[in-house]
Amino acid sequence: MNTQTLLSQLPNFNPRDVPVTGIDTHLPAVPTERLTPDALRQRFVHPPAWQPELREEPRFADRAPAAAAVLVPLVNRPSGLSVLLTERSHKLSTHSGQVAFPGGRVDPEDVDVVDAALREAQEEVDLPRGHVDVIGQLPVYVTGTQFIITPVVAVVRPGFVLHPNPDEVAHAFEVPLSFLMNPAHHRRHRLEWQGHVREWYSMPYVERVRIEPGTGESPPTPDSEIERYIWGATAGMLRNFYRFLSA
């Protein structure tokens, strides 16, 4: 049996159950002054010398490579930039239920990867293009399912109202950029399967959710906490973003 077939038979597993092998508390967080819209724009205009930490996952799917693009939407909130993420619908054939950036395959009618990322964000969560200011791109990231992803970074003006497409998105939420750019929240994992090793990062974030009266839910208090488990390719691209901003 060849390696490609073995990797395509990786078992279904809950990533939360895979032990943490390390947490990067020894690395510094990105300074606050670098996490502003103006500072980020200048960073892409005058990029530092740096290398992405993660470029390609071990292949574990028997499919032809496909070009894809994701939008890394940085919402310009009064409290600071936050990253808009989605929880993918369980109806999807790939990466269902996972936390992801809005995005997908590059279609033939797309002008380029930027156009694809903006289109996908509008289709998935109804994020209006008029609120999005693209400021740069991160290096290509290749997933184990053979998606060749270009992350398109943008600053998003608040004031939009999202309408997630239920066929693609179960939930949309925001995480403070400062949280994700602090390696104290970057956890390492390692899984061995039939002589093959898969490694990844996770960045779990506990979201405070307000339970509205009359919804039929009856938590002990009006507030509830939900863990949004960011891992795999999404965490890998965020890790590269950290390396870019901390260089």
Report residue 210's pLDDT band, with 50, 70 and 90 as the boundaries.
low
Angle between helices 232-246 and 37-45 (to 10 degrees): 80
Mean pLDDT (whole number) for 172-178: 95
Q: Which helix (H) or strand (E) holds 226?
A: strand 223-228
Residue 4 pLDDT exceeds 50: no
The pair of structure tokens assigned to 122 is 């509008």
DSSP string of 140-206, one letter each residue: PEE-TT-EEEEEEEEEE-S-------TTTEEEEEEEEHHHHT-GGG-EEEEEEETTEEEEEEE--EE
CA–CA dist 176, 20 (Å, integer):
23
Is the pLDDT assigned to residue 139 strictly greater than 60?
Answer: yes
C-alpha count within 13 angstroms, C-beta hemisphere, residue 72: 25
The Cα 103–Cα 54 span in angstroms is 19
Mean pLDDT over 158-187 rounds to: 93
Residues 39-86 pLDDT 10s? 999 999 999 999 999 998 877 767 788 999 999 999 999 999 999 999
pLDDT of residue 6 exceeding 90, the answer is: no
Q: pTM higher than 0.75 for the full model?
A: yes
For residue 110, the Cα-to-chain-centroid distance in whole angstroms is 22
Res. 5: pLDDT tops 50: no
